[in-house]
Amino acid sequence: MKIFNNNSINKVMNAYKKTNKNEVSENNRLGKKDEFTISKEAKDIQRAFKIAKESPDIRKEKVEEIKARYDSGNYNIDPKKVVEKMIEDIKIRNDY
């Protein structure tokens, strides 16, 4: 069986070529262009990623200060502040 010189396949291919050309020329004639928009949420996420990427991973000064206070025995943790920060973090995460 020959596939390339099959009359039925040639008719289908010719019909497809005509239809495809008409669709393209119709879109060009009307001046249609593809468009997309970025949602507010996506913009917020992009901004957050940018800020996180630009911020340093470790604040060396803060780490050195905590080390010095810990070594001297003056590093006291306020459990109330820890819980407040944890609750604040949970609220922020639940907003997204």
pLDDT tens digit sequence for 52-93:
888 777 788 888 999 999 999 998 899 999 999 999 989 888
Of 65, 61, 62, nearest to 74 (Cα)? 65
pLDDT tens digit sequence for 36-54:
888 999 999 999 988 888 8
The tokens for 41 are: 């949420």
pTM: 0.31
Query: What is the C-alpha separation between 83 and 35, in angstroms, rounded?
Result: 47
